[in-house]
Amino acid sequence: MHFWSLLLASSLMLVHCTTSTADSESSTTTTDLAPTDTVVVDEFGLITAIEDSGYPFFNIEIEFPERQLKETYLLDISELESMDPQILTSWLGQYVAFSYTSTVVNDLLDIRVNDASILGNDSMEFPEGVKTISGTLSGAYEVTAGDRPVKISITDPEEASYTFEFFVTPEMVEAEGTLVKGFFTQRTLNQIKSIKKSDP
């Protein structure tokens, strides 16, 4: 599977991270780890775009006309009863009432062993603000089967640990239990937990 497809799917899932210490790109020590608290928010808005991100995931753009604001939310359609892609796409241009969670997640960009990428990304230009952690890779004991990523972790000698949702490759299986360097960014993931059509 192409790396960027793996990254897209892996970034859509909830990630847990324990409080500890990691390196920045310039090897500066930081304790700015992702919080684990989840905030639930109720909203009402107009669906302006629906993008299939690979079943069961959909990115939904919702507009809030009174605030002149648009936001994009992730929906795992398999989590909702009596919902399918045809029903969802029929709601384009309709107002909906929905609830969503807002969580800080870690997006894994690359894993390197002895400065060489095991994901084929040696020439990758990392975005500004990329974070790194060096430690032991765990959770990558077998190649991921199916359409959902699994949890893997990188734990440093001080027991600092970051966990990521990712599709495990054969190269990652070979690196299981060894010292690696992970490159990642952090972002806020807004994921819809309930949604229904509603009159404006």
Surface-to-core class of residue 77, CB atoms within 10 Å of its CB (0-12 exposed, 13-18 middle, 19+ buried): middle
User: In the structure, what pLDDT confidence band is assigned to residue 57 with cuts at 50, 70 and 90?
Assistant: very high
Each residue of 60-69: pLDDT tens digit?
A: 999 999 999 9
**What CA–CA distance (Å, rounded) separates 67 from 52?**
26
Closest CA to 162 of 21, 7, 11, 8: 21
What is the pLDDT confidence band of residue 26, given thresholds at 50, 70 and 90? very low
Nearest residue to 108 (alpha-carbon basis) of 123, 81, 130, 86:
130
pLDDT in tens, 98-150: 999 998 899 999 999 999 999 999 888 999 999 999 999 999 999 999 888 99
Residue 3 has pLDDT above 80, yes or no: no
Asked if 161 contacts 153 with a C-beta cutoff of 8 angstroms, the reply is yes
| Domains, the chain, ordered by start | 15-32+106-188 (no CATH), 39-103+190-197 (2.40.50.140)
Digit-coded pLDDT (tens) for 72-86: 999 999 999 889 999
Is residue 35 reached through a cis peptide bond, with omega within 30 degrees of 0 on the bond before it?
A: no
Residues 6+ away with beta carbon under 8 Å from 151: 15, 16, 139, 163, 164, 165
